[in-house]
Amino acid sequence: MNKKILYLTEAAVIAAIYTVLVFLFQYSSFGPFQFRIAEALTILPYFSAAAIPGVTLGCLLSNILFSNIFDIIFGTLATLIGAYLSYRLRANKFLVPIPPIVVNALIIPWVLKYAGFAEESIPLMMVSIAGGQLLAAGVLGMLLLFTLDKVKHIIFKNY
């Protein structure tokens, strides 16, 4: 099979899964105290570069459906940066969830504050967003990583 088609298909499937997870859990996916279950997928760059556009597109689509222009731009940018940095750290699987946690904790509180969606202080929201990301990317994501690591040869292809 053509590697480009495989790459695009993998990215599209990841984007679709991310978007569906946000749709299913939309009430916990937004706001100053959020637990976005779809963020568990941010560990997927450990397995495939296709996960970078996959989770980024999934975040973009989710934000278009449920959020505002600030989140569409900066929330998606945060996901892109986190996914790219996770990919760069893939040599050590335990470092993979750190970029999405840190990047989202640094960017999303500003988005919420200046878009008028939160009255809480920036430092409080940084802690809150980091906590939600720690649960989603750090705990759920690492469970997903270890599970997929056992079957990665079946699911992910090297490009």
Which CATH number do you get for residue 27?
1.10.1760.20
Report pLDDT digits (tens) over 16-50.
999 999 999 998 888 878 899 999 999 999 999 99
Could you tell me if residue 31 is left (phi over 0), alpha (psi between -120 and 50 degrees) or otherwise beta? left
Q: Which domain holds residue 10?
A: 3-155
Q: What is the DSSP track for the chain? A: --HHHHHHHHHHHHHHHHHHHHHHTGGGSSSSS---GGGGGGGGGGT-TTHHHHHHHHHHHHHHHHS-HHIIIIIHHHHHHHHHHHHHTTTSTTTTTHHHHHHHHHHHHHHHHHTTS--S-HHHHHHHHHHHHIIIIIIIHHHHHHHHHTTHHHH----
Q: How many domains, the chain?
A: 1
Question: Distance of alpha carbon 54 from its chain centroid, rounded?
Answer: 9
pTM of the shown model: 0.92
Reported as a single tens digit per residue, the pLDDT across 89-118 is 999 999 999 999 999 999 999 999 988 888
